[in-house]
Amino acid sequence: MTEATIERLRLFLIESPIKMARLQGVGNVKGTVKRVLIELTSRDGVIGWGEAAPWEVFTGTPEAAFSALDIYLRPIVLGKPVRRIRALMAELDRALVGHAEAKVAIEMALLDIVGKSSGLSVADLLGGRVRDTIPLSFSIADPDFAADLDRMRKMVPDGNVIYKVKTGVKPHREDLDHLAAIRKEFGDKVDLRVDYNQALAPFGAIKILRDVEEFAPTFIEQPVPRKFLDVMAQLTAALETPVLADESCFDRRDMMEVVRREAADAVSIKLMKAGGLFEAQAIMAIADIAGLPGYGGTLWEGGIGLAAGTQLIAATPGISLGCEFYMPHHVLTEDVLEERVVNRGGHVVVPDGPGLGIRVSEASIRANARVLAEA
């Protein structure tokens, strides 16, 4: 029997309006977000979708991801066997340094094809489900805090109880006032977390974070810049609240260094950092050995990337701290899926169809596409 190969590759650079501005500590976002969608078609006609969602202050630009896919990776992908995913990913790494988002988009699409061809979900291909739903974390990052508080008033009664407050952008006193307002109104009904996105300087960080500890956050995410891993270790040792590493951990080597230095108590697993679902599971395997739980982080993915993220978390026991896959439902004005991945009772419901378990709307893609490349 002849092995199916990749016959066609289409790329779309998408620009999507968002409903609210986002203050993130670094790289604040407003107006629109950009991402790259990839459609692979096998010789036997099965289509798979993937998504690259870089952020210029975090990993790179969407335009660079588009060019990487179109110019450097396209010639390698076309004609390759669909099912030899690990071999192809290794070849992509040899051909092009970095560009993790472009590579994970290809891997997503290949897994989507293999899943559809075999009748299995991507979670099945990754080892099988350990969970069918994932607790959803919503980020409090609107410049208008009162608007976020109003959102919480509507979301908490529906079962949305995890909230991650973006801190370090506004004055420290204002951050404390916001945390106090949330605790005063919702008390222990909400699981409160804070994320500095590298905003604090090492000098004086401990005093600021001890103030924050008064509000009993579940974790404090990436308080200082990535390069200060020794400071992360000092803060992890000094604070009662667990410290979560995000920008300090992109790959397996980073994870081993975080573990060696005891620089965090938990880790954010993001497909756009890891560059692959298999790679994300490998990072999490190292964290498992050290007893560090994982959290499902995101950049600015839409429904395709987040569907892949749900499949990953469904099949990876250690990613147990929930996920922040709220973009398609709460921030994007329009997604590219015919039906959005279901949110129910404060949880993301993992799609159970073959492949990624989603259907992509060609009309929505073309309405939002700024650049198209196909061959």
Burial class (CB in 10 A: 0-12, 13-18, 19+), 369: middle
DSSP state of 5: B
Beta-carbon count within 10 A of 92 CB: 22
Q: Are 241 and 223 in contact (CB under 8 A)?
A: no
Q: Are 48 and 40 in contact (CB under 8 A)?
A: yes
Residue with tokens 């378990």: 357
Sheet containing 32-42: which strands, arranged edge to edge?
A: 47-52, 32-42, 6-17, 369-374
**Helix/strand/coil for 47:** strand
**Whole-angstrom distance, CA of residue 68 vs CA of residue 63:** 9
Q: Are 350 and 134 in contact (CB under 8 A)?
A: yes
Instruction: Kindly state the helix (H) or strand (E) to which residue 72 belongs, with its residue range.
Output: none
**Whole-angstrom distance, CA of residue 79 vs CA of residue 218:** 48
Whether 189 is catalytic is no
Whether 164 is catalytic is no
Catalytic hit among 166, 221, 273, 301 = 166
**Whole-angstrom distance, CA of residue 12 vs CA of residue 35:** 8
Catalytic hit among 107, 221, 279, 324 = 324
* Residues recognised as catalytic: 166, 324
